[in-house]
Amino acid sequence: MIQSDRAVEVADIVGPVCESGDFFARDREMPEVKSGELVVLLDAGAYGMALASNYNTRMRPAEVMVEAGKARLVRRRETMDDLMGTELL
Q: Does residue 2 register a pLDDT over 60?
A: no
What is the reported pTM? 0.57
Give the range with max mean pLDDT: 43-47, 55-59, 75-79. Answer: 75-79
Quick check: helix, strand or coil at residue 80? Answer: helix
Q: Does residue 29 register a pLDDT over 90?
A: yes
Our CA dihedral for 74, 80, 86, 88, rounded to 10 degrees, sits at: 180
Average pLDDT of the chain?
84
Which residues fall within 8 angstroms of residue 38, CB to CB, at 6 or more apart? Answer: none
pLDDT top residue among 84 and 20? 84
Catalytic residue among 7, 18, 51, 68: 18
pLDDT value, residue 76? 93
Whether 46 is catalytic is no
